[in-house]
Amino acid sequence: MVNIQLYNMTKIYLLAKQIHNVLVIFITIIGIAMATTGMVLKFPAITRLMPFVDYELSRKVHNQLSTIFGTAFILMAITGIVMYIFLHSKKRHS
């Protein structure tokens, strides 16, 4: 019974780890886009220095990415908590 539970917990841990790793890369990429658009929103003078940068488009992109970023961040936190609990419980039972 204990071996079956440990096997299932290990499968959940490995799945959480894979999802977590993908989300880390995803959040890094989205984070760069959020930082770039955020700089345009914080410092609108950038649009005068670089006329090809559109303030309104930056605002829309930043707004759309924030929901995706927040959702991915929450999922990454959940998978991180699952991994932490697994490792903590494994140490406790060893």
Rounded to two decimals, the pTM is 0.79
Mapping DSSP onto H, E and C, the string for 18-38 reads: HHHHHHHHHHHHHHHHHHHHH
**Is the model's pLDDT at 62 over the cut of 90?**
yes
What range defines the domain where residue 51 resides? 2-93
The predicted structure's pLDDT at residue 4: 62
Instruction: Give residue 50's region: left, alpha or beta (phi > 0; psi -120 to 50).
Output: beta
Tell me the C-alpha distance between 8 and 94, whole Å.
17
Distance CA 30, CA 68 (A): 8
Count of domains for the chain: 1
pLDDT in tens, 5-61: 767 888 999 999 999 999 999 999 999 999 999 999 999 999 899 999 999 999 999
